[in-house]
């Protein structure tokens, strides 16, 4: 019996339960992140695919605002996404307005606003993505 207590005293102090909990949480994060990144490499590496959708038209203190949503349904990031809106007014004149989005990550959307002097007619509105580059 005395031998047993002697050998037990030689043992390192017991690891506190909280240490196990904290380490397990860290281990779960590590496994989760690495698994996701691995999955992402094989599944989600398609090129960027960018489109723009018009939103609500509202009157502002100067002119009219058109909310826009740019979407990237591809996997890779698009940088400096340039969107152009073009409206034709009743008297036949055209007005254009541009917005640039610094970064549009894959599977993401970003919001912005185009401004016009005349009230855009939704039926006459053309919205297109002009260009973007790889980051």
- What are the residues binding another protein (CB under 8 A)? 12-20, 22-30, 33-34, 36-38, 40-41, 44-45, 75-77, 79, 103, 105-109, 135
State the nearest-atom distance from the C-beta of 62 to another protein, in Å: 28
Q: Show Cβ contacts of residue 79 under 8 Å, excluding neighbours closer than 6 positions.
A: 102, 103, 104, 132, 133, 134, 135
State the nearest-atom distance from the C-beta of 114 to another protein, in Å: 20
State the nearest-atom distance from the C-beta of 56 to another protein, in Å: 17
Rounded CA separation 13/17 (Å): 12
Compare residues 126 and 133 and give the one whose CB is closer to another protein: 133
Rounded CA separation 111/133 (Å): 18
The pair of three-digit structure tokens given for residue 37, joined into one six-digit string: 């990144």
């Amino acid at each position: 019996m005395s031998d047993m207590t002697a050998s037990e005293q030689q043992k390192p102090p017991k690891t506190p339960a909280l240490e196990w909990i904290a380490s397990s949480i860290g281990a779960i994060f590590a496994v989760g992140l690495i698994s996701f990144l691995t999955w992402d490499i094989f599944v989600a590496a398609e090129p960027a695919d960018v489109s723009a959708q018009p939103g609500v038209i509202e009157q502002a203190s100067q002119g009219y605002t058109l909310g826009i949503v740019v979407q990237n349904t591809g996997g890779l990031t698009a940088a400096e996404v340039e969107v152009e809106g073009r409206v034709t007014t009743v008297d036949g004149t055209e007005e254009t307005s541009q917005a640039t989005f610094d970064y549009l990550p894959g599977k993401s959307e970003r919001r912005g606003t185009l401004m016009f002097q005349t009230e855009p007619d939704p039926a006459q509105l053309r919205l297109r993505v002009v260009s973007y580059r790889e980051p």
